[in-house]
């Protein structure tokens, strides 16, 4: 049970997220289905906190003086301009992270509802894809 809690917590941390935690959990011998579920829930927990706490952050950001754009934000804006919110959030977990893409999508004007829907779909799809491909690939090399 502790291992799955660590998967949950690891997926909740930006930069670890599902892209790293799911393969590591499955390769360490944990149940792939439980790893996928724990990672999905962990990642979504912090995405939900980000989405619903966004207004507080926006107030804090308005008070800040330094408004320079980071490299990741620039990459996200390029994706946004080309593909919109769906493209940004679908590509986010593999390019710049799901937390950052949800945050940047909202700063660029996406609604909380659309960000939540697309984030849920994206994290779910990537969790399944990573989990299935890791489990099948691991089985291929061990058999």
CB 32 within 8 A of CB 131: yes
CB 35 within 8 A of CB 22: yes
- CA dihedral sign of residues 8, 13, 14, 15: negative
Closest CA to 94 of 17, 35, 9, 7: 17
pLDDT at 100 over 60: yes
Q: How many CB atoms lie within 10 A of CB 69?
A: 9
Predicted confidence (pLDDT) per residue in 8-38, tens digit: 999 999 878 899 999 999 999 999 999 999 9
pLDDT at residue 68, as a whole number = 67
Looking up tokens 């950052």 gives 100
Question: pTM for the whole thing?
Answer: 0.81
């Amino acid at each position: 049970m502790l291992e799955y809690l660590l998967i949950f917590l690891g997926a909740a941390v930006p930069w670890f997220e599902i892209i790293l935690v799911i393969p590591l959990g499955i390769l360490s011998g944990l149940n792939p289905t439980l790893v996928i579920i724990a990672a999905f829930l962990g990642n979504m927990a912090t995405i939900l906190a980000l989405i619903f706490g966004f207004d507080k952050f926006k107030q804090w950001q308005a008070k800040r003086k330094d408004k320079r754009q980071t490299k990741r934000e620039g990459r996200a804006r390029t994706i946004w301009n080309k593909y919109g919110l769906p493209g940004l959030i679908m590509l986010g977990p593999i390019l710049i992270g799901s937390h950052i893409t949800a945050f940047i999508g909202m700063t660029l004007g996406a609604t909380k509802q659309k960000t939540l829907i697309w984030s849920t779909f994206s994290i779910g799809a990537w969790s399944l894809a990573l989990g299935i491909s890791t489990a099948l690939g691991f089985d291929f090399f061990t058999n």
